[in-house]
Amino acid sequence: MKRFLLPAFVFALLVAVLFIGVQRAPQKTVIPSALIGKSAPAFSLPVLGSTEQFSESSMRGRWYLFNVWGTWCPECLNEHEMLLEVARSKKVPLIGLNWKDDDAAAKSWLSQLGDPYDVVAVDRDGEVAIDWGVYGAPETFLVDASGTVVYKHVGPLTQEVWQSEFLARLPSAGGAK
């Protein structure tokens, strides 16, 4: 009997490893961000429809959402209603990064669908998106008051994700200003 003990143990271990692997398989398409727990990459970019520049350092002391979008991105259209709802809730400021897009197209998108953003920074050649490790729009980052990236969601923002991943992390008292 004793000689079967080790093979049985190895087999059980293999089953456990494969089981966990299969359980987690659906998440494999989403690559975890390397920026979680690190400070948000610095940038200074032109503001959409303005001559001003926007820098992430101006958000220091406040939590904010950083949403990467483009008018060429169909999933961004799908999440737009949710972004408007987030903006209406006034829980947290929403900063947009208009990624590799056309200014005129971006402006008409916002005037037609509604503008949920406090500021939209324009990243026409995608340099800042690389610094943030963006690999597909839409992506939404949650950054805390010290400028540290707390969470990143890849894909359209949904009510479930907003509730469970973002609202749950926001400090309930002083999150919105």
Q: Which residues bind other proteins (CB under 8 A)?
A: 31-35, 41, 100, 125-127, 129-133, 135-136
Helix (H) or strand (E) holding 160: helix 159-161
Nearer to other proteins, 62 or 100 (CB): 100
Q: How far is the CB of 160 from other proteins (least distance, A)?
A: 25
Q: Tokens at residue 107, please?
A: 């402006």
Nearer to other proteins, 12 or 34 (CB): 34
Q: How far is the CB of 31 from other proteins (least distance, A)?
A: 5
Contact between residue 107 and residue 136 where contact means Cβ atoms under 8 Å apart: no
Q: How far is the CB of 136 from other proteins (least distance, A)?
A: 6
Q: Tokens at residue 40, please?
A: 């948000």
Q: How far is the CB of 106 from other proteins (least distance, A)?
A: 16
Closest CA to 133 of 66, 41, 52: 41
Which residue in the block uniquely carries the two structure tokens 């969470």?
151
3-state secondary structure of 35: coil
Q: How far is the CB of 176 from other proteins (least distance, A)?
A: 29
Nearer to other proteins, 21 or 114 (CB): 21
CA distance 97 to 103: 12
- Could you give the angle at the alpha carbon of 97 between the alpha carbons of 82 and 132, nearest 5°? 110
Nearer to other proteins, 92 or 97 (CB): 97
Nearer to other proteins, 122 or 170 (CB): 122
